[in-house]
Amino acid sequence: MPVNCTHGGSESVWNALTGDEQRLMQAENARLKRELARISEEQRIPKKSGGVFCEGVQVKYATIRKHELAYAVCLMCRAFKVSRSGYYHWRGRAPSLRAQSREQLDGRVRKAFQAEKARIGSPRVTRRLQAQRVYRWP
């Protein structure tokens, strides 16, 4: 028998249900509301995120870290298709030797650039650093 959706019709259908059927419908409604809230939250995550979806895991982890105060980590991990445990492991890890070396080199490049009052280009910066025997990777 089709359900009449006019005013009062749905109430009579609800009253016709047994207590177990009503509890099942209430549980299903609650589940659907939770699912809708989860999907709505996922939709708020900046999907473009500067092309993060096409990047490697490290870039995705860095984006999650950047936005972890605004969005739930578990939702961002699901949206970026990375594991939560992998993210937390990455977050607690010390920087690699390459990352440390790159950070030192970046600092020296900035220092050389600022020493010339920001009027020097990359070829001159490179020559100055080579003259000081500064290399990219040990």
Per-residue pLDDT tens over the stretch 10-57: 677 767 778 888 888 889 989 999 888 877 777 777 655 556 666 788
Instruction: Give me the pLDDT at residue 131, please.
Output: 84
Distance of alpha carbon 81 from alpha carbon 88, whole angstroms:
14
Q: Is the pLDDT of residue 59 over 90?
A: no
- In this predicted structure, what is the pLDDT of residue 1? 43
pLDDT band at 101 (very low <50, low <70, confident <90, very high): confident
97 vs 64, 100, 135, CA distance in Å?
23, 5, 14
Q: Is the separation of the CB atoms in 71 and 44 below 8 Å?
A: yes
Closest CA to 66 of 78, 56, 52, 55: 52
Q: Count CB atoms within 10 A of the CB of residue 64.
A: 24
Q: Which two tokens stand for residue 41?
A: 């939250």
The pLDDT value given to residue 33 = 92
Averaged pLDDT, 62-82:
88
CA atoms within a 13 Å half-sphere pointing along the CA-CB vector of 88: 5
The DSSP 8-state label assigned to residue 53 in this structure reads G
Question: In this structure, which amino acid lies at residue 92?
Answer: G
